Structure 1
Amino acid sequence: MSTIALDIALAHLGQRKRQTLVSLSGVVLGVAFFLAVSSLMRGSEKDFIKRLIDNSPHITVSDEYRHPARQPAVKAYPTGAVEVRHVKPQSETRGIRGYRSRLARVEAIPGLRVAPVLSGSVVLVFAGRQQSVSLSGIVPAKMKRVSTIEEKIVSGSLEALAANPNGIIIGRGLADKFSLRMGSTVSVVATDSGSRSLQVVGIFRSGNAAYDEGQTYTLLKRAQTLLGRPNRVNRFIIQLEDANLAREIALRIERETGYKAVSWIEASEDILSLLLVRNLIMYSVVLAILLVAAFGIYNTLSTIVFEKIHDIAIMKAMGFHARDVRRIFLLEGLIVGLIGCALGELLGLGMMKLLAQIELRPPGITDPVHMPIWWGAEQYLIAAAFALGACLAAAYLPALRAGSVHPVEILRGAA
């Protein structure tokens, strides 16, 4: 019976070639545009997240606390009505206390790399010019494992910084503004410890103008001396082997160290929410294209049912059950869906390859930018599932109508 049903379904579709081709074209274009748009949107999303992850730590531990410390009076009378006024915290040297022991505990967690950093504001002075910049004290051997700074250095190296206790690495924007070059000596003025002459041993270019003009690096010990914070750091920068585990590991680190640990997911919740909304919009638009194609299939099959009403009655009179008739029209929708999916995915693959070859040169950008295309197999499965679902849904109502035909009434009316 299944072979007969398939032969009848193919015969129905072949007899209405124009309508079948129109319906098939709708499915092909729907699947192709779905793949092209999905690959472009998902590619841009993954490229954005990769840049976000690569250019910032997966987890940052700072010298802050998640919850403020309770006042002694509140601790002494937890159930009482306590009011403490004009409380001024004691002056202290800011930073992560006992950072070496806490650093060792973090390093013991598998699947991560960590580097201690001391950051503060200083004033850079050279040839009568002054500018406030951020100075980060680092351990070069550890820093290169958790950041991309080494990849962005265009002159010098982190090894040169490690070999020179009075070295400093600056951004290309800052070097151009102050007319600095490799080997130049600049004065770094800190609030509490006077000034120190440092030699430029490296220049980096990140592509972010504000970062290139406002960020500098020196050795951790030199930064501790300049900023007046001996044996202190104020950040741990952490990179994970699996960035998706950042939230869970950040909670563990916060419990073990007592200091606030912020994952990149927590720091970028608004951006990730925006990406989710964008994906929903994208899938809704492409699904609408497939629904339009489904209406074409519905129209074609409904016409076939109307035109073949007497043939359907004869088949039922010959012994075809209602389920057999329904199977024929569902097969017609399935055939259109399968052929449409195959041709649509081939066309979509060609469109994706074409998009991947496009080069853009935005104003002010020296390097060409390529369209970010995602080649994951998941989108092919989603496109096929959407298309087949739409085709079967479009064939369902005509199939029900065909299955409900009463042969006696139709044949008696024909007589």
Structure 2
Amino acid sequence: MFWRVALSIAFAQLANRRRQTLVSVLGVSLGVGFFIATSSIMSGSEQDFTQRLVDNAPHITIKDEFRHPATQPVFVTYPQGAISLLRTKPREYLRGIKNYGAKVEELTQRPGVIAEAALTGQVIVRYANKDVSASVAGIDPDKEKFLTQVESDMLEGSLDRLRTTADGIVIGSGMSEKLGLKMDDLATVVTPSGLVKRMKIVGIFHAGNLLLDEGQTYVLLKNAQVLLDKPFIANQIRIKIPNPDDAETFAASLENRWGYRSESWQEVNRDLLGLFIIRNAITYSIVSAIMIVAAFGIFNIISTVVMEKRRDIAIMMSMGFRGFDIQAIFLIQGVLVGILGMLLGWTIGLGLLELVSMVKFTVPGMTKQQGFVLDRSFRPYAIGGTFALVSAVAAAWYPARKAAQVKPVDIIRGAA
């Protein structure tokens, strides 16, 4: 019974100040709406970027190098000695991952793990008196389909043709346009050692990334070993695991076991992923400021009602209302403004998302027009709505508490 009376009193007091109530509701709703729009854009772009990293590259790459140089024997023998070793020359060793075939075989025995030995290097692709510097990757076509998105990005041909065509090579669409290369054309590939080889175009892919489309090529592993004059050598083992989030732990265990530098996709892109944290902090700070301004509007309207209704409050308390009851009435007003602002803010946020989804733009380094990738989940709505209710109740709490402290005897005597 009390809550029905309290709700009717709260509604009546808000209705008596329609203009201020409307301004407060609009303030909250705009804060919620902009929070939903910005949060959906930021979260969507972060998820899309992370997904691209996960899909377009191996989760873990083992390289034929070591994270830390080997400790000199003299420092091992005398770890606490005051020793200085000058003019040391690093020991030269044959680059490549030792016994890579057995390592790949062992990794593929693990459930859900895909592993591939690869050899990468630099070459020059020449055609019709034009040269383009490119990276070449010697791969296993059957496994590359699962490690990257190259096969799904193919415009013409396929990775499988690398197996069925002698000296086949797959190039990007940017390189194809630069050199005028078409399917089945013969391009001249020149290596740093001076080897010149004619190779047939068996596939053209379009990744949408300028660096890949103009500067990445794929050949069979054995052809890369011939091109780069590194027979029976692989300088990378590329791995994909069932859960990409476990890549750092998995890479650390492989590095501890075999010693070779093992880089997870998180380590390679740590700087870029760190930017998302800073960007989100800035975004949420700006939107929070909007919500705080809206909260002051709620604080203002309820404080004004308390000041104007002091006599009514005194009469209510003399009729049997307790301080807690009075406080609850004004807190209900804050909750009502918060709920109305939340619902209207959800509508505004949904409308803003529909407008943003129609925006198209060109990103430097990308060959296609892009649009905003939006997070369409309920999460931004839930966070924005919760923030609106919390800020509304927080803004109403102090004036409601002051209303509960009104002494009816003093007010009535003063009025008399």
Q: Residue type matched to 1:157 in 2?
A: S
Aligned residue in 2 for 1:171? 172
Matched, 1:29 2:30: yes
Give the superposition deviation at 1:300.
Answer: 0.8
Paired with 1:209 and 1:43, the residues of 2 have a C-alpha distance of 23
How many positions carry a matched residue from both structures? Answer: 415
What are the Cα deviations for residues 349-404 of structure 1, in whole angstroms up to 9, with x where unaligned? 12212222333467997744322211122111110111011100110111011001
Give the superposition deviation at 1:126.
Answer: 3.9
The farther-off stretch of 218-227 and 401-410 is 218-227
Describe the shift of the 1:187–1:403 C-alpha distance in structure 2 as closer, same or farther (beyond 3 A): same
Paired with 1:106 and 1:270, the residues of 2 have a C-alpha distance of 29
Matched, 1:278 2:283: no
Give the superposition deviation at 1:323.
Answer: 1.0
Contact 2:138 2:222 in 1 (8 A): yes
Aligned residue in 2 for 1:105? 106
Describe the shift of the 1:89–1:364 C-alpha distance in structure 2 as closer, same or farther (beyond 3 A): closer
Paired with 1:22 and 1:112, the residues of 2 have a C-alpha distance of 58
Paired with 2:275 and 2:347, the residues of 1 have a C-alpha distance of 31
Aligned residue in 1 for 2:144? 143
Aligned residue in 1 for 2:380? 379
Contact 1:172 1:203 in 2 (8 A): yes
Contact 1:165 1:219 in 2 (8 A): no
Contact 2:359 2:372 in 1 (8 A): yes
The farther-off stretch of 390-399 and 338-347 is 338-347
Q: Residue type matched to 1:78 in 2?
A: P
Paired with 2:130 and 2:399, the residues of 1 have a C-alpha distance of 81
Paired with 2:328 and 2:211, the residues of 1 have a C-alpha distance of 66
What are the Cα deviations for residues 249-303 of structure 1, in whole angstroms up to 9, with x where unaligned? 2112222332111112112222222111111111111111111111111111111
TM-score, with length taken from structure 2? 0.93
Aligned residue in 2 for 1:327? 328
Report SS of the residue matched to 1:68. coil
Report SS of the residue matched to 1:144. helix
Equivalence map 1:239-254=2 (5 Å): 239-254=240-255
Report SS of the residue matched to 1:290. helix
The farther-off stretch of 28-37 and 327-336 is 28-37
Structure 1 portions without partners, runs of 5+: none
The farther-off stretch of 135-144 and 89-98 is 89-98
Aligned residue in 2 for 1:255? 256
Give the superposition deviation at 1:127.
Answer: 4.6
Paired with 2:145 and 2:320, the residues of 1 have a C-alpha distance of 78
Give the superposition deviation at 1:145.
Answer: 0.8
TM-score, with length taken from structure 1? 0.93
Give the superposition deviation at 1:341.
Answer: 1.0
Aligned residue in 1 for 2:77? 76
Equivalence map 1:4-403=2 (5 Å): 4-192=5-193, 194-360=195-361, 367-403=368-404
Give the superposition deviation at 1:229.
Answer: 2.1
Q: Residue type matched to 2:123 in 1?
A: V
Report SS of the residue matched to 1:259. coil
Paired with 2:190 and 2:364, the residues of 1 have a C-alpha distance of 37
Paired with 2:326 and 2:151, the residues of 1 have a C-alpha distance of 69
Report SS of the residue matched to 2:160. helix
Matched, 1:2 2:3: yes
Contact 1:205 1:212 in 2 (8 A): yes
Q: Residue type matched to 1:141 in 2?
A: D
Paired with 2:38 and 2:152, the residues of 1 have a C-alpha distance of 32
Paired with 1:55 and 1:193, the residues of 2 have a C-alpha distance of 31
CA RMSD in angstroms, aligned pairs only: 2.2
The farther-off stretch of 36-45 and 143-152 is 36-45
What are the Cα deviations for residues 101-127 of structure 1, in whole angstroms up to 9, with x where unaligned? 211232234443222210112333445
Give the superposition deviation at 1:188.
Answer: 2.8
Paired with 1:125 and 1:33, the residues of 2 have a C-alpha distance of 52
Paired with 2:295 and 2:196, the residues of 1 have a C-alpha distance of 74
Paired with 2:366 and 2:234, the residues of 1 have a C-alpha distance of 37
The farther-off stretch of 331-340 and 253-262 is 253-262
Report SS of the residue matched to 1:158. coil
Give the superposition deviation at 1:159.
Answer: 0.9
Report SS of the residue matched to 1:145. helix
Give the superposition deviation at 1:99.
Answer: 0.4
Describe the shift of the 1:359–1:126 C-alpha distance in structure 2 as closer, same or farther (beyond 3 A): closer
Give the superposition deviation at 1:337.
Answer: 0.9
Describe the shift of the 1:127–1:281 C-alpha distance in structure 2 as closer, same or farther (beyond 3 A): closer
Contact 1:165 1:222 in 2 (8 A): no
Contact 2:157 2:183 in 1 (8 A): yes
What are the Cα deviations for residues 206-262 of structure 1, in whole angstroms up to 9, with x where unaligned? 333333333221110111122222222111222333322221121122223321111
Identity %: 43
Paired with 1:366 and 1:272, the residues of 2 have a C-alpha distance of 23
Report SS of the residue matched to 1:2. helix
Paired with 1:191 and 1:240, the residues of 2 have a C-alpha distance of 34
Paired with 1:82 and 1:106, the residues of 2 have a C-alpha distance of 42
